[in-house]
Structure 1
Amino acid sequence: MGVIAEFTFRHPDLPLVPTLEETGVRYEVEQAVAEDPDRPVLFVWATGDDLDTFESRARDDHTVADLTVVEDAGDRRLYRVQVSERTAKPLYPLDDRMEASRLAVTASADGLRARLRFPDRESLSAFQPRVEDRGVDVSLRGVYSQTDPVLDDEYGLSSKQRRALVTAAELGYYDVPRTASLSEVADELGVSTQAASERLRRGVAAFVANALD
């Protein structure tokens, strides 16, 4: 059965990471093209307060061979980025060899975050050590089965976590002062108090990690 995994990758040679660290800009990969597997082309949407500085610094970034503006939407810009040969390239072509499909890839000064779908857990287990062999720091942030999918691409919540958080908020568990107890939330969810507590903690952790980076 297929699984979805969320990773954070950190390495100074990841595409545009040096520029992101200097400017505080973020980007989201819209498309990756690889006629040459060792030099992929990325189409990325960049957002931030100073895209002019980002663009200037990116042209001198050792991870970038060429950068072209495709579209300027004012508060964000779409760039075509020819990746340099000196880039660590943890995702492509390695993810294709592991039969993994990219669902979402974003990057900031804190690293590159990716959500990947793997055909099975064996493929997932083989992926991380192969990326680490390239000297890339890898953190596995979450694993979801196809039957318990991530509902929100932005916040990374499983269906059970989302329902637990919404139920707790509706009952008043997060009110000040609190108007509902953990046991009441658990009763509403039809689970034990311990299970409710774990879902809420994991849900909050996923929400904070994704919403607040």
Structure 2
Amino acid sequence: MATLINATIPACELALSEAFTSLPNLEIEAEQLIKGGENTVMPLLWVRGVEPDDFEAACESDPTVDELELLTAFDDELLYRMQWFDQVSLLFQMLTNAKACLLDAFGKNGTWSLRLMYPSREHLSETKMFCSEHELSFSIEAIQELEGEPSGRYGLTTKQYRALVTAVNAGFFDVPREVTLREVATEMEISHQALSECLRRGTHALVENTVLIGPAESHP
């Protein structure tokens, strides 16, 4: 059975440790991580909380950064293409060995928060063994088994998933709204209050597990 985990690893064992140390407000969200050569990774990263000049100066002295290119700049975030090397290759070796898929990566305060999917618990055990052998401080924060329902991929309960899907299909989230909350509740044969609570909690879980990367407290 597929297994979804949230885990953390210190930046000193992955990438950009010195950048996080010199820039305490730095936040980084991976848009994409691509394996390059044997010992390189070419990521696209959203960078927040710093000015471009400060971030680029910090990267110049960071031993994990080989190349850096600013692609897009907005008021509150920057999109960079980089080239990492050195110990970064260990992460991809770990994922390859366990047939895992890296879904999300978020860095702050010298720590990377990762969201990973494994084909099974047995494959996750291979990661634990790999980390032990290579002395990696890989800490698992949460484990979730994906049991058939697509809700599991997004941190939703089955009731929350069905409530959101029913509301969307009925036009509750359309502008202008096609149906009222009470009409959706009637269709689902539950109370208006129960549906309201289900939609609120489901929306919170959906955003937290798809839009927000990393610890919830990182996103005021």
Q: How does 1:38-187 map to 2 (within 5 A)?
A: 38-85=39-86, 87-147=87-147, 149=152, 151=154, 157-159=155-157
- Aligned partner of 2:4 in structure 1 is 4
Deviations 1:33-69 (A, max 9, x none): 2131321111111111434212211122111111111
Distance 1:159 1:210, change over 3 A: farther
2:183 aligned residue:
none
In structure 1, what is the Cα distance between the partners aligned to 2:89 and 2:35?
Answer: 12
Cα distance in 1 for partners of 2:137, 2:59 equals 23
In angstroms, what is the RMSD of aligned CA positions?
A: 2.7
Aligned to 2:166: none
Task: For residue 40 of structure 2, give the secondary structure of its aligned residue in structure 1.
Answer: coil
What TM-score comes out, normalization by structure 2 length?
A: 0.66
**C-alpha displacement at 1:93, in angstroms?**
2.9
Question: Which residue in 1 is equivalent to 2:215?
Answer: 210
C-alpha separation between the residues in 1 aligned to 2:11 and 2:76? 27
Q: Which has the higher helix share?
A: 2
Q: Give the Cα–Cα distance (whole angstroms) in 2 for the partners of residues 27 and 132 of structure 1.
A: 27
Shift of 1:90: 4.2
1:132 to 1:41, Cα distance in 2 relative to 1, 3 A? farther
CA contact (8 A) 2:97 2:126 kept: no
Structure 1 residues 121 and 131: alpha-carbon distance in aligned structure 2, compared to 1, 3 A threshold: same
Q: Contact 1:47–1:75 (CA<8 Å) still a contact in 2?
A: yes
TM-score of the superposed pair, with normalisation by structure 1: 0.68
Distance 2:50 2:11 in 1: 24
Superimposed CA distance per residue, residues 96-152 of structure 1 (whole angstroms, 9 cap, x where no aligned partner): 22111111111112411111000000001111231243232111000111126253x
- Structure 1 equivalent of residue 172 of structure 2: none
AA aligned opposite 1:76: E
Retained in 1: the 8 A contact 2:11–2:110? no
Report 1:12-31 matches (<5 A): 12-23=12-23, 24-31=25-32
Moved over 3 A (4+): none
CA contact (8 A) 2:40 2:88 kept: no
Name the count of aligned residue pairs.
166
Hey, what's the Cα distance between the residues in 2 that align with 1:68 and 1:131?
31
CA distance in 1, matches of 2:70, 2:134: 30
Aligned AA for 2:157?
S
The separation in 1 between residues aligned to 2:95 and 2:13, in whole angstroms, is 18
Whole-Å separation in 2 of the counterparts to 1:71 and 1:134: 36
Which segments of 5 or more consecutive residues in structure 1 lack a partner in the other structure?
152-156, 164-187, 189-202
Conserved in 2, the CA contact under 8 Å of 1:43 and 1:81? yes
> Residue 12 of structure 1 aligns to a residue in which SS?
helix
Report deviation, 1:158: 4.9
Matching residue of 1:173: none
